[in-house]
Chains A and B, each alone.
Chain A
Amino acid sequence: MNIEKTKAQMRKGVLELCTLSIIAEKDAYASDIIEKLKSSDLIVVEGTLYPLLTRLKNEELLQYRWEESSSGPPRKYYQLTKKGEESLVVLKNSWLELTAAVNNLLFDKQQKQ
């Protein structure tokens, strides 16, 4: 079993949730999102984010608008749609459930041993 692969898959699983959460906080463009994800060590390669953003947009969880930039070409600023906000709530809840369950499973077991 390739441990790196598993780690990547785990990160990938939560990436969607984290991205939605960052955008929910404040409208953001790709580089902002990357900054935040990187500082939390949630992505290894930046390229990962773009297919995700496009998929979320296609699923109508996100929408974007073009905004002029003082230092270059216009930027895409992402914001959550109503559907996106609803999804974020659902995902946050399921994350809480999941982590609780996993923590319970993992660490209670250790204490028992």
Chain B
Amino acid sequence: MEKTLTININGWVFNINEDAYEKLTEYFKNLNGYFEKQDGGDEIVADIEARIAELFRDLTKDKENLVSIKEVEEVINIMGEPYQMDDADDASYEPRPDNKKFKRKLFRDPLNAHIAGVASGLGKYIKLDPIIIRIIFIVLIPSGGLGIILYAVLWILIPEAATTSDRIKMEGKKVNVENIENKVREETEYLKTKFNDFSEEAKDAYHRSQPIRKLGIQKLEASFRVLGKIVVRILKFLLGLILLLTGIGFLITFAIFFFNWMPSLEFDSFFVNGLSLPAFLDSFILDTKYSLIAVIAIVILLLIPIVMLIFNGIRFLFNLKRKKLVGNIAWQGWLVALIVSLGLSYGSIRSFKSDAIQITSHRFDQLQSDTLSINLNTVGYYQDIVSSDNHVISQDDQYLLLQDGLFYGVPSLEILSTDKPDFEMKLYSSASGKDEDEAYKNIQGFDYLFKKDSMGILLDPYFKLDDYSFYRNQDLKIKIYIPEGKSICLDKRIRKHFRLRYFWKGRLNSCKEEKCYWTVVNKKFMSAAKEKLEPMIITTDIQYDTADMQQLDSSRRQPLK
């Protein structure tokens, strides 16, 4: 099997076998090397190239312009080696050494041209990315149009690299198989575009032959084109608007978290008070020495996409050109930030690997009636926290907590019926850690306080992460079991504080009194009339029953900082 390439010699297209191509390129290289110092050397080579094309035409007439090594050898034989051609009087008959370094020549590069290939050609000549040369040209435009004049002059002065040998000279590459392949690929692309040009021309000729028809079509085409442009512009404008607004939305959200503009924020099952995003990350998530760097990296990681959204929004809105450079820098910066933040927070991420759950059971031995009252403790240790109904949970003397840096969890509350004869409350505490032991340890890292008495139970609306604990997915589920035939009395305010099933939320919402009663009949909660029970008096000196779990972790409660 042989590989065939397509080349263009002096305007003629040939198919050429790979070995033949190599040989021919070598020959051109030798010619260039030999004549480049001579006056008019370029012209000599170009003339020879034209003749070679002619010879190939004659030789391959019967075989569909396929040039094989045989034809190349024959042509070289006809044309002779460079040293045989030399016209000078002191012509040396020895072939020059082949390893002579190939010198680059300045050409315009039509294959990579934006206008006429001046910048691309210059770039190839001085081995510089043409984008830099283009920038220089553009920068020079405001200074009296110097950029444009310079470009025009160079356009006139520098010849175009029209042939394969010109291209080889222009790039000054050492000729090897890889380079040839690349060049031929470029050349094929170039031919394709040329072909398109031709087809455009053909179309044009077709229109020209029918003047009346042409006029109609042209008008139609023109109006379609204008319409299309307007539609594209409008779509771009809308897209830009959407991107810009989304970006600004994200930016505001980011700023709220970053500067802690709101007194407290609730997300998922947690409730953060007086805590900015960096402080939150630093105090509760990142378990590393380099937490400052990690926080900066994470902030950059979040900011770059937001900035790019806004940037691209503005670009579409005002129809600005795409800045590849900005995009590249942003993308690379984002990658660096991603790697740094992942690297530094790896340990912290890993410490979410294992989960553990701890269940504690509580019975209500002191209960004096068949009704269990579930009350909301509004006198918790959560000073100045504004709950979602703007009710200020009052200050607590027992716990003087820091003004900022509070991290609260919102427990979920479930009320279920049971076959057992007694009321029961189960607390499901869970947390994550890098292994099970650590997960258990992290369960001890948060407090939940409640108080049992003869009436029922007083529940705090939040559980709190210990001051020096990290957030490790701590969660608390409260399940209260009601036996058959017995009742519960729920404080209506519960619905605003706990994570409740929809069932209970609805029931509490439809409840007209401050406290509502339900009795379990056939495992179903039936609404019951208000019983004559003394309302529970809430005082500030409540002695809490601490959950069993808190006694386990007293040894751990040493500050980590």
Interface set of A (CB-CB < 8 Å, partner B): 2, 5, 8, 12, 30-31, 34, 44-48, 50-55, 57-58, 72-73, 75-76
State A58–B44 Cα separation when bound (angstroms): 12
* A12 proximity list for chain B (CB < 8 A): 87
> Per a CB cutoff under 8 Å, which of A5, A58, A76 touches B47?
A76
State A8–B80 Cα separation when bound (angstroms): 13
Closest CB in chain A relative to B332 CB, distance in Å: 47
State A46–B80 Cα separation when bound (angstroms): 7
State A73–B12 Cα separation when bound (angstroms): 8
Contact call B11/A50, Cβ cutoff below 8 A: no
Contact call B11/A73, Cβ cutoff below 8 A: yes
Contact call A51/B50, Cβ cutoff below 8 A: no
* B53 proximity list for chain A (CB < 8 A): 72-73
Q: Is the CB of B267 closer than 8 A to any CB of chain A?
A: no
Contact call B12/A47, Cβ cutoff below 8 A: no
Query: Knowing that A54-B39, A73-B50 are A-B contacts, what are 19 other residue pairs whose CB atoms are under 8 Å apart, sorted by A's residue number?
Result: A8-B84, A45-B81, A45-B85, A47-B48, A47-B80, A47-B81, A47-B82, A50-B51, A50-B85, A51-B44, A51-B85, A51-B88, A53-B47, A54-B44, A55-B39, A72-B12, A73-B53, A75-B50, A76-B47
* B86 proximity list for chain A (CB < 8 A): 51
> Per a CB cutoff under 8 Å, which of B40, B51, B79 touches A31?
B51
Q: Is the CB of B93 closer than 8 A to any CB of chain A?
A: yes
* A31 proximity list for chain B (CB < 8 A): 51, 54
- Please give me the residue from chain B that is nearest to A43 by CB atom: B80
Contact call A46/B84, Cβ cutoff below 8 A: no
* A75 proximity list for chain B (CB < 8 A): 50
Q: Given A47-B85, A73-B12: A54 and B47 within 8 A (CB)?
A: yes
- Please give me the residue from chain B that is nearest to A76 by CB atom: B47
Contact call B85/A48, Cβ cutoff below 8 A: yes
Contact call A46/B51, Cβ cutoff below 8 A: yes
Q: Is the CB of B418 closer than 8 A to any CB of chain A?
A: no
Q: Given A72-B12, A73-B12: A48 and B80 within 8 A (CB)?
A: yes
Interface members, chain B 398-425 (any A CB < 8 Å): none
Contact call B11/A58, Cβ cutoff below 8 A: no
Contact call A46/B79, Cβ cutoff below 8 A: yes
- Please give me the residue from chain B that is nearest to A38 by CB atom: B78
* A73 proximity list for chain B (CB < 8 A): 10-12, 50, 53
Q: Is the CB of B103 closer than 8 A to any CB of chain A?
A: no
* B554 proximity list for chain A (CB < 8 A): none
State A54–B45 Cα separation when bound (angstroms): 10
> Per a CB cutoff under 8 Å, which of B12, B78, B81, B87 touches A51?
B87
Contact bitstring B66-92, A, C-beta under 8 A = 1, else 0:
000000000001111110111110000
Contact call B47/A44, Cβ cutoff below 8 A: no
Q: Given A50-B48, A54-B47, A76-B47: A44 and B80 within 8 A (CB)?
A: yes
Closest CB in chain A relative to B199 CB, distance in Å: 20
Among A5, A8, A53, A54, chain B packs the most CB atoms within 10 A around the CB of A54
Contact call B40/A54, Cβ cutoff below 8 A: yes
State A5–B84 Cα separation when bound (angstroms): 10
Closest CB in chain A relative to B431 CB, distance in Å: 81
State A45–B40 Cα separation when bound (angstroms): 20
Closest CB in chain B relative to A15 CB, distance in Å: 8
- Please give me the residue from chain A that is nearest to B58 by CB atom: A31
State A58–B57 Cα separation when bound (angstroms): 30
State A47–B82 Cα separation when bound (angstroms): 7
Contact call B39/A51, Cβ cutoff below 8 A: no
- Please give me the residue from chain A that is nearest to B79 by CB atom: A47
Contact call B79/A45, Cβ cutoff below 8 A: yes
Contact call A45/B87, Cβ cutoff below 8 A: no
State A44–B48 Cα separation when bound (angstroms): 15
Contact call A45/B80, Cβ cutoff below 8 A: yes
Closest CB in chain B relative to A62 CB, distance in Å: 12
The 9 closest A-B pairs by CB, nearest first: A45-B80, A47-B85, A51-B87, A73-B11, A47-B80, A47-B79, A54-B40, A50-B47, A50-B44
Q: Given A53-B47, A73-B11: A44 and B40 within 8 A (CB)?
A: no
Contact call B93/A48, Cβ cutoff below 8 A: no
Contact bitstring B30-63, A, C-beta under 8 A = 1, else 0:
0000010011100110011011011001000000
Contact call B51/A57, Cβ cutoff below 8 A: no
- Please give me the residue from chain B that is nearest to A16 by CB atom: B87
- Please give me the residue from chain A that is nearest to B55 by CB atom: A46
Contact call B84/A44, Cβ cutoff below 8 A: yes
Contact call B44/A72, Cβ cutoff below 8 A: no
- Please give me the residue from chain A that is nearest to B80 by CB atom: A45
State A46–B48 Cα separation when bound (angstroms): 9
* B44 proximity list for chain A (CB < 8 A): 50-51, 54
* A44 proximity list for chain B (CB < 8 A): 80, 84
* B35 proximity list for chain A (CB < 8 A): 51
| 11 A-B pairs in the complex with CB atoms less than 8 angstroms apart | A34-B51, A44-B80, A47-B82, A48-B84, A50-B48, A54-B38, A54-B47, A55-B87, A58-B39, A73-B11, A73-B50
State A53–B39 Cα separation when bound (angstroms): 12
Contact call B40/A72, Cβ cutoff below 8 A: no
State A12–B89 Cα separation when bound (angstroms): 9
Among B38, B53, B54, B84, chain A packs the most CB atoms within 10 A around the CB of B54
State A45–B85 Cα separation when bound (angstroms): 7
- Please give me the residue from chain B that is nearest to A73 by CB atom: B11
Closest CB in chain A relative to B343 CB, distance in Å: 62
State A44–B93 Cα separation when bound (angstroms): 15
> Per a CB cutoff under 8 Å, which of A47, A52, A72 touches B54?
A72
